Amino acid sequence: MQNSDPPVKSQIDYAALPPVFDAGAHHRAKIGFVLLATEQTIEDDMMRLCPPGVGMHFTRAANPDSITVDSLLAQAPDLSRAAATLLPDGSLDVICYACTSGSLVIGEDTVFAALSAGAPTAVPTSLITAVMRALQAMQVSRIAVATPYLDEVNRREAEYMSARGFEICAMQGLQLEKDSDMVRVSPKFIHDFAASIDRPDAEAVFISCGALRSLEIVDALENKLGKPVVCSNQAMLWDCLRRAGIADQFSGYGRLLRDY
């Protein structure tokens, strides 16, 4: 026989009490990413390895489905607006412009100024900044570089990294212009393509572009080549976490995230 007595109501009037707050779900750090409007890979990669207690927050800046020097330069004026849409309460710890080619074509100083204008309390960084910091942390200066880009973007990348002290032993691009094509390059092809660009004098291989699904194959490629492999999204996650004071390490995604 079921008890038909009505439930006893609480004697506490919670509506009359102030709410009880805690530190929130993202109590360790909050990280923001300004993505290209066409981006389809980075959110999945960042959320795959997002540590407990860390918030990953995303916004987008306008761009066409075209990755050229001109289209990347044209995105610069929209970065401040996009950054300002992320946590306007000022609780963001780090903000990153999540485009390798865009950050080197526009230039880090210009990117940082734009991000800081939109999110003044957050530490600004960019994807090319993350890559170079990662290579420096691993004490690597001679690199072979695999990209999906057109040659006009590859030339800019080689010049930019060379000016920062890196020696480009080899560089090859897939001559893709559309971001929507870059996201569809299979991880197996990325693995084999990057392996083909390696040279004996290269201390590491760098797979450039956040749109490529390189995170999935970086560990296997390191095992094949016997040397460090850095890819854009791996480096970006590492850089943003470290700048936010998060020291978590991850196995299965290359030496950078496992050991540094």
pLDDT at site 9: 66
Distance from C-alpha of 17 to C-alpha of 61, rounded to nearest angstrom: 42
Distance from C-alpha of 99 to C-alpha of 196, rounded to nearest angstrom: 24
| Per-residue CA distances from 199 to 59, 173, 231 (Å) | 38, 16, 17
pLDDT at site 14: 86
| CATH 3.40.50.12500 domain residues, the chain | 29-126+235-250
pLDDT at site 8: 62
DSSP lists the bridge partners of residue 146 as 172, 207
pLDDT at site 35: 98
Q: Which CATH class is domain 130-231?
A: alpha beta
pLDDT at site 19: 92
pLDDT at site 15: 86
| Per-residue CA distances from 70 to 106, 146, 160, 171 (Å) | 10, 21, 16, 21
pLDDT at site 10: 67
Give this prediction's pTM. Answer: 0.94
Strands laid side by side in the 229-231 sheet: 167-173, 142-147, 204-207, 229-231
pLDDT at site 11: 85
Q: Where are the alpha helices (DSSP H) in 74-142?
A: 79-84, 100-106, 108-118, 127-137
| CATH 3.40.50.1860 domain residues, the chain | 130-231
DSSP lists the bridge partners of residue 56 as 31
Fold of the CATH domain 29-126+235-250: Rossmann fold (3.40.50)
State whether the Cα torsion 173-174-176-181 is positive or negative: negative
Q: Average pLDDT of each block of 10 consecutive residues along the chain (260 residues)?
A: 61 89 96 98 98 98 97 98 97 98 98 98 98 98 98 98 98 98 98 98 98 98 98 98 98 98
